[in-house]
Amino acid sequence: MSVRRLIVQVDVDGLNVTEFCAQHGVSTWFFYQLRRRYAAEGEAGLEPRSRAAKTVANRTPGWVEDLVVAIRKELDEQGLDAGAATIWTHLAERLPAGRLPAEATIWRILTRRGFITPQPKKAPKHAYRSFAAERANECWQLDDITWELADGSEVRIITMIDDCTRLCPGLTAVAAATGEAAFDALATAAARWGWPQRFLSDNATAYKNTLAAAVGAFGVDHRHGRGYHPQTQGKVERFHQTLQKWLNAQPRAASLDALQAQLEVFCDIYNTQRPHRAIGRRTPATVYQQTPKTGPADRPLGAPTSIHRATVHNGVCHINKQYSITVGATHTGKQATIIITGLSCHVFIAGRLIRHLRLDPTRRTQPLYDRPGRPTTSDAPRHP
Whether the CA torsion 332, 334, 335, 340 is positive or negative: it is negative
- Is the predicted pLDDT of residue 222 greater than 50, yes or no? yes
Question: Is-above-0.95 flag for pTM?
Answer: no
Cα–Cα distances (Å) from 24 to 21, 317, 321, in that order, read 5, 106, 106
Give the separation between CA 294 and CA 34, rounded to whole angstroms.
Answer: 79
For the purposes of burial, counting CB atoms within 10 Å of the CB of 98, is it exposed (0-12), middle (13-18) or buried (19 or more)? exposed
pLDDT tens figures, 120-144: 877 766 656 678 899 999 999 999 9
We find that the CATH architecture of domain 140-290 is 2-Layer Sandwich (3.30)
Q: How confident is the model at residue 384 (pLDDT cuts 50, 70, 90)?
A: very low
pLDDT tens figures, 334-361: 999 999 988 889 999 988 999 999 999 9
| Residue that wins the pLDDT comparison between 144 and 96 | 144
Give the separation between CA 240 and CA 263, rounded to whole angstroms.
Answer: 12
pLDDT tens figures, 293-334: 988 866 655 667 888 999 999 999 999 888 999 999 999 999
Closest CA to 180 of 371, 356, 348: 348
Give the separation between CA 332 and CA 100, rounded to whole angstroms.
Answer: 65
Give the pLDDT confidence score for residue 150 in this predicted structure.
Answer: 96
Give the pLDDT confidence score for residue 266 in this predicted structure.
Answer: 97
Give the pLDDT confidence score for residue 210 in this predicted structure.
Answer: 87
